[in-house]
Amino acid sequence: MTQKLAAAQFLIADPFLKDDNFMRSVVFLCSHDATGSFGLTIHKKLGFHLSDLMEDISNTNIPVYVGGPVATDTLHFLHQYPNLIPNAQALGNGIFWGGDFSAVITLLNNNAIELHKIKFFLGYSGWSAQQLDDECKEHSWLVDDATASILFEVEPEKTWEACVRKLGDEYLQLLLYPIDPQLN
């Protein structure tokens, strides 16, 4: 599947991709241009919550995900609340990136937003100019349009499978491939 890279796409790791950071991963592509690419791995929960990172968050059940191996001390978020979170960047398919974080804190503390429509990430996945294009040419990634339902509603451990199924019947065999074919 060859597709021009752009924001609001899923990068679905080839089942034989050996990089521990991206093995059977799905990355939501936030930006892609001549200078490089920026994305967030969407399915790897960290072992703590947003309230563990920030004292002013009263809800203790908001998970934080591994966005990627770059700048793991930075917090990012994707959501579906452009009318409630000022300065959010529209990426497409009803998915928005960032915005006024003080508004997010207020909304969270007032229970004014649904938690299945916002996700928080530490770190990000980044590629230098042309690097991601080259990785796609090498078939390290399958590319498909992102959907808010997979991004926000699918259980983390089922995300890669859901994305492969969305690609169509000709890709279903990928689900049968062992993680380490040398053990087969």
Let me know if residue 2 belongs to a domain: no
Neighbours of 174 (CB within 10 A): 18
Cβ atoms 80, 99 nearer than 8 A:
no
Structure tokens at 152: 């926000």
Identify the bridge partners of residue 126 per DSSP, sorted by sequence position: 38
> Tokens 């300065």 correspond to what residue?
87
> 161: buried, middle or exposed (CB in 10 Å: 19+, 13-18, 0-12)?
middle
Let me know if residue 82 belongs to a domain: yes
Let me know if residue 73 belongs to a domain: yes
The average pLDDT across 133-147 equals: 96
Question: What confidence score (pLDDT) does residue 72 get?
Answer: 96
Chain CA centroid to CA 90, Å: 15
Sign of CA dihedral 92, 50, 114, 10: positive
- Predicted structure pTM score: 0.94
Whether 1 shows a pLDDT value over 70: the answer reads no
**Which residue segment(s) compose the domain that 32 sits in?**
9-183
> Taking the CA atoms of the chain, what radius of gyration do you get in angstroms?
17
Whether 120 shows a pLDDT value over 60: the answer reads yes
Question: What confidence score (pLDDT) does residue 183 get?
Answer: 52
Question: What confidence score (pLDDT) does residue 179 get?
Answer: 67
Let me know if residue 32 belongs to a domain: yes
> Tokens 């003080």 correspond to what residue?
102
Identify the bridge partners of residue 127 per DSSP, sorted by sequence position: 37
Question: What confidence score (pLDDT) does residue 178 get?
Answer: 74
Q: pLDDT tens digits, residue range 94-109? A: 999 999 999 999 999 9
Whether 182 shows a pLDDT value over 80: the answer reads no
Q: Helix (H, G, I), strand (E, B), or coil: what is residue 74?
A: strand
Domains contained in the chain, number = 1
| Domain of residue 69, CATH code | 3.40.1740.10
Break the chain down into helix, strand, coil percent, rounded to 5.
30, 35, 40
Q: pLDDT tens digits, residue range 47-93? A: 999 999 999 999 889 999 999 999 999 999 999 999 999 999 999 99
Let me know if residue 1 belongs to a domain: no
Mean pLDDT of the chain: 94
Q: Helix (H, G, I), strand (E, B), or coil: what is residue 95?
A: strand
Q: pLDDT: is 179 or 137 the higher one?
A: 137
Let me know if residue 4 belongs to a domain: no
* pLDDT level of residue 43 (50, 70, 90 thresholds): very high
